[in-house]
Structure 1
């Protein structure tokens, strides 16, 4: 690894620096690339819908959601929470690229170790359409569009393969294994530079390797890029996986992610150089991944991840994702979000139309304003800290009496089926005639154990009362996705009720 000399550090200290992570949100299995002066970022989403979010940036540091590559998870009823569930299934590490020759965007991903799906669009912002299905699973795949416009996909775990796609990119011409590792590797990212082909792979979850060849079909030489490098996020894991990208100026950067549970996996960025052997070298600070580096380019700020969403217009913004596919017959956006009860259940994990938002780390709080005068007896509507162990604050219609309740102890088993629907730990009846309420969750997602969330409610939007005890967040990695803020409304008795979410406001820090 290349170590920054003291003089270089002193000289660049005067420049504008960025701090890690570049965006403290759960955006794992990233694929990153550049089209002209714009950088694009794609991530995994598993059971959340729409899937495979797309972000863009002009400086590699400031990012903004612009859309999703997969508008609907159309792989069976379980993705609709019908006859089962699809937790931790769906979209894993996948790939996104722009093809200049036809002006089309391509997303490719394998679903449930079975088939690979190809979605295309004339624009990064959509509309996206499923255009092809390939009967080979391109596990942890990466698309490379070569100089002659041939499309290749690198994929696999430990045994790495390369497939050549048809001229339209929608089917497979051939595939062959190009490298067999003596240890576990995955997370392929495929590049070409100066006539050489590179495949980046990670050894979960503490090392990164690079394969290099003068042909897409090999033979490939393997070299370690990093191993147990000091993390730039206190308490977080080791940077790994991710991909490399160049700037219009010809500088190269490596964007990896860091396991930072309970919040998820967050992106970190470091400059790289190229050694005399043609392999990339990370620019380190004191032997580790720097907590700060000079901006790659002139800073270009975009919309802030914080602030208030009042659900203007008739569609949700690209920062929102549903827990599994929603039922469009039971929600609407029209200067406010109306959530009709879509399913009779006593289980939040089985409820339809739960809307989620990534939590901004390391600490933030979210507040929703609800109009609740159309709730029916048995209805529950509120704001959750959603993961395989969950808690929430909700308004409950108890036979006509509205009650604010803090519920915790919602858990899943190792197959992600519901083990417990939770229990009320505190509650208070609302005054008769209450029609509007504000609910709030404050979350500390610094990496590590013992991090907590606290819930609040208000009847005037100004004075907030804490309810229940601090909820200890689960920081195990096994669920992969980190905690999210989740807005829900479901029936336990009969359908017909609804609430209006007038606003969602997320702010950094604590209230």
Structure 2
């Protein structure tokens, strides 16, 4: 034993010497692009001291406008949402056959000014511009104001003289002044056209006009970031700059590689600069990238030799679990939130019809009405899928389903897939449904004679393969494939990457319920 410990001491001595010679930062792996392999689009980012905060778009989900925190620009965790519900109307409530898939709140703008955090967004669903503000971005509470109209893809901007503005629009970008507290449009203000055609630097044939404005003031100059999509080309970053807020602005193409675009600038405490952007990546959604920024002649120069690098001089990712997605056993300590932040409801929930206290350690989803389809059913509880591969699994007690009830595990998008239990009179069946054709089709049905059942869905987003496979198990150990592989597709009507969902809805009689024991998420999938 003495010889072992003396050797161990010698090894530690060598290791310590190596650490002194080669700092840990040089030994650890670098970050890789994408920095987040999940649907986190329309990023807006700020740095306050050594902390970075980022907002994003989750549209029709509730709660909405997620706020994420990082200390290294790579490893992010959810810390808050700007709102619980955007609005209460038929579309947000999935009532009377209405929905707001692909709408809800869109691109947000996150800012910090005089000790207050502001998040602004806009919504076709409400027809309004919404601004949320708080002194404590992580704990809240958030206060809300809203006003008409809905200013498209706006950037909230606090100038050094205390005046507050929104830059907004598509193609033709406009400037409007707000009140000092950002609670509405300043009375008597006159809007002005800031840039007549912000997409012009990318060429004359523009498919998607310049939008996604994000405005910054750096060393006395104004920098306006936009995304544009030339016809026959790819999504492109365009930057304009000016000496005065009102212009004139000169513009240039800042990045045209891999379709990585739409975002802005962030600096580190030691003076490094990055641009945060995203890339459309098929069924998993729109995934964030970082590109290094240098400065030349007062212009930000994005990328490495004009390209998006695969690696970054930043700490490596520790993974998205449990920062942005997480498993949940549905057990709650006293004082803990009912639902962790990784969960969002599909549209506004009916809070009377779900519970974590009716049966300790279980999520109970009750039915309160009859629904005609899965996508119009309330109280589907969701969280993101992640790439390049992931699996989600659950177990549920279906003993209290009523005739016509359907409960189980979903992959939610317009071309969704479901595996669950359907009750028909006094019999229960395991059913896999595919909406790959954009119409639900029952692919397979298996008789079920027990009350506890296990389901799993595996997603493969590698190189945009975008295929999901569904499984069931009678004991939680031996898994059987069911139905057919689902070819997943990112469709604009939903405008969102695929999400895992726990669901239960009635097609004949309200009043039944399903008890979900847990949800687990993993980066691993089965090997063929």
User: Common fold, TM-score beyond 0.5?
Assistant: yes
Does the 8 Å CA contact 2:34/2:290 hold for their aligned counterparts? yes
Aligned-pair CA distance for 1:271: 1.0
> Of 305, 311, 336, which aligns to 1:292?
311
Secondary structure in structure 2 of the residue aligned to 1:295: strand
Alignment correspondent of 2:128: 115
Contact 1:96 1:106 in 2 (8 A): yes
Q: How many pairs does the alignment contain?
A: 477
Q: Bigger shift: 123-132 or 384-393?
A: 123-132
Q: 1:46 and 1:208, CA in 2 relative to 1: closer, same or farther beyond 3 A?
A: same
Paired residue for 1:85? 99
* TM-score w.r.t. length of structure 1: 0.88
Once residues 339 and 452 of structure 1 are traced to their aligned partners in structure 2, the CA distance between those partners, rounded to angstroms, is 28
Q: In 1, distance between residues paired with 2:49 and 2:320?
A: 18
Q: Secondary structure at the match of 2:149?
A: coil
Find the counterpart in structure 1 of residue 251 from structure 2.
222
**How do residues 100-499 of structure 1 correspond to structure 2 at under 5 angstroms?**
101=114, 103-112=115-124, 114-127=127-140, 129=142, 131-173=144-186, 174=189, 175-181=191-197, 182=200, 184-204=209-229, 206-227=235-256, 229=257, 231=258, 238-276=259-297, 278-284=298-304, 287-295=306-314, 303-305=322-324, 307-313=326-332, 314-334=337-357, 335-409=361-435, 412=438, 420=439, 422-431=440-449, 434-448=450-464, 451-476=466-491, 479-499=494-514
Q: Is the 8 A contact 2:262 2:277 kept in 1?
A: yes
3-state SS, counterpart of residue 308 of structure 1: coil
Please state how far the C-alpha of 1:300 moved relative to its aligned partner. Answer: 11
Distance 1:297 1:169 in 2: 38
Conserved? CA contact 1:363–1:444, under 8 Å: yes
Match of 2:517 among 498, 502, 506: 502
**Distance change (3 Å), C-alpha of 1:297 and 1:425:** closer
- Runs of at least 5 residues in structure 1 that lack an aligned partner in the other structure: 1-11, 232-237, 413-419
Rounded to whole Å, the distance in 1 between the matches of 2:88 and 2:353 is: 21
- Contact 1:34–1:40, Cα closer than 8 Å, also in 2: yes
SS in 2 for 1:345: coil
Q: Give the conservation status (yes or no) of the 8 Å contact 1:59–1:299.
A: no
**Gaps in structure 2 of 5+ consecutive residues:** 1-24, 201-205
Alignment match, 1:415:
none
Change beyond 3 A, Cα 1:409–1:301? closer
Q: Is the 8 A contact 1:261 1:447 kept in 2?
A: no
Distance 1:467 1:302 in 2: 27
Mapped partners of 1:398, 1:488: distance in 2: 17
Deviation at 1:29, TM superposition (A): 0.9
Q: SS at 1:76's partner residue? A: coil
Please provide the CA RMSD for this pair: 2.3
Q: CA shift at 1:269, angstroms?
A: 0.7
Cα drift, residue 272 of structure 1 = 0.2
Q: Is the 8 A contact 1:438 1:459 kept in 2?
A: yes
Distance 1:484 1:500 in 2: 20
Question: Which whole-Å CA distance do the structure 2 matches of 1:295 and 1:359 have between them?
Answer: 24
Deviations along 1:62-103, one digit per CA (max 9) or x if unpaired, are 11111211210205221101121111111111212222x2x3
How far off is 1:264 after superposition?
Answer: 0.7
Q: Which structure carries more strand by proportion?
A: 1
Contact 1:388–1:411 (CA<8 Å) still a contact in 2? no
Task: Name whichever of 254-263 and 370-379 sits farther off.
Answer: 370-379
Shift of 1:304: 4.7
Residue 223 of structure 1, CA deviation: 1.6
C-alpha distance in 2 between matches for 1:398 and 1:478: 32
1:464 and 1:336 map into 2 onto residues whose CA distance is 22
Aligned to 1:329, the other structure's residue is in SS state helix
